[in-house]
Copies of this chain bind each other. A is one copy, B any other.
Amino acid sequence: MVAKHDGILAQDVMTGGEGPRPDGAAPRLVGIVGLGLIGGSLARRLVGRGVAVIAWNHRPHPYETAERDGIRCVETLADLVTAAPDVIVLCNPLKAMPAILGELKPLLAAAPGITLTDVGSVKGMVRDQVEAAGLGECYVGAHPMAGNELSGWEAADPHLYDDALWAITVTPGTDYRRFLTVARLIVEGVGDRVIVLDDETHDRAAALISHMPHVVATAMINTLVADPDRNIAAALAAGSWRDMTRVALTDPDRTRAMVEEDAENVERLLRDMAARLLDAADLLRDGRARSEAVRGHARGGMLAFFTEGQSFRDYKARGRAPATPAPAHDTREFSYGIDDWRELLLASARRGEHVVAFTGEHAVRVEMRSAV
């Protein structure tokens, strides 16, 4: 992978600052805004793999050690744009996004060749902000499934991106060459996998596996606190309670903001979960009914309730968490045209395939990684 990556770098020609690179090649120079855990780890990862990085941070405190790591640090966003990176990756906190986009707007208007991407965990909202700043044309969304409980440059670690998956989000208006530049930055530059989604599909899936569960965990600790025997319950609490309420212990203001940013999806999923819990409660009631017919029906319903998710149990039992490389027979290649690339790549993601290589200008190799 690294050898191939070096080959691509060697054959590249200099085009920065003059429009999208004609071949959608992997970037030679990457600009990073924000040297926190995610941006700092990305900068160190890219430099370690031979990709030049230029970085700006809202405070210069990481600059001394970052420069020692081979990351070129600049004092202003104007300096960053002037250096003409192929891609600028916004790794700043979401709350700083409007101010940074406002500052980048005139700078990027004069440098149309630079592609803009980000690492935010809610894609629809970031795109709205990017479009409000008039930068929608040069933007491709991205979200790495990487992170830990730490934060800041001091915690930056290139291994954070070991065998990680990134979601790339596109719209019908996304320029294919800009998409390819970001995708190859991730696949060849970072050495990771990608799936291609639209913003809505990304945010719905994120609501399902993260935002809704945060609300459920919060409701669980609220249930305990409201119980007159809460001290007895806390005394008896063991592993299952600890695991299911861990995310409710994180900063509740941050959780609330995350949930409110994805409000429609979370609302729908909470109503769905409530209906499932009420169905299970009805079955437990009917299981104590006088009528043998009602009890028999409840028995069948409980069996179905506990069987319904079996394919997810099987998926986990296969040990085929996304971090596990797929066997050869689960790997395939396909090509697409300039008109159907979005649809074909989204359909591939829906099958549980992850892109591991670009084998041509309009062709990918994918591995079956997350088929439940």
Binding site for B on A (CB under 8 A): 145, 147, 165, 167, 195, 197, 201-202, 204-206, 208-210, 212-238, 240-241, 243-249, 252-253, 255-256, 259-260, 263-264, 266-278, 280-281, 284-285, 287-288, 302-303, 305-313, 315-317, 322, 349-352, 354, 369-372
Extra pairs beyond A249-B313, A270-B277 (15, CB < 8 Å): A197-B232, A205-B229, A206-B236, A209-B238, A209-B240, A212-B223, A216-B216, A223-B273, A234-B352, A249-B316, A266-B281, A267-B284, A267-B285, A268-B281, A277-B277
Q: In the assembled complex, which residues on chain B have CB atoms less than 8 Å from the CB atom of A278?
A: 270-271, 274
27 of the cross-chain contacts (CB-CB < 8 Å) are: A145-B236, A167-B235, A201-B229, A209-B240, A213-B241, A216-B244, A216-B273, A218-B305, A220-B273, A222-B309, A223-B269, A223-B272, A225-B309, A229-B350, A231-B371, A234-B352, A234-B372, A235-B322, A240-B246, A249-B313, A249-B316, A252-B306, A252-B307, A256-B305, A270-B284, A273-B277, A274-B274
Shortest Cβ distance from residue A120 to the other chain B in the assembled complex, whole angstroms: 14
Q: In the assembled complex, which residues on chain B have CB atoms less than 8 Å from the CB atom of A204?
A: 229
Q: In the assembled complex, which residues on chain B have CB atoms less than 8 Å from the CB atom of A266?
A: 281, 284
Lowest 8 CB-CB distances: which A-B pairs, in order?
A221-B309, A231-B352, A252-B306, A235-B370, A270-B281, A219-B276, A274-B274, A267-B284
Once bound together, how far apart are the Cα atoms of A238 and B221, in whole Å? 21
Cβ-defined contact, B267 with A312, below 8 A: no
Once bound together, how far apart are the Cα atoms of A75 and B257, in whole Å? 64
Shortest Cβ distance from residue A271 to the other chain B in the assembled complex, whole angstroms: 5
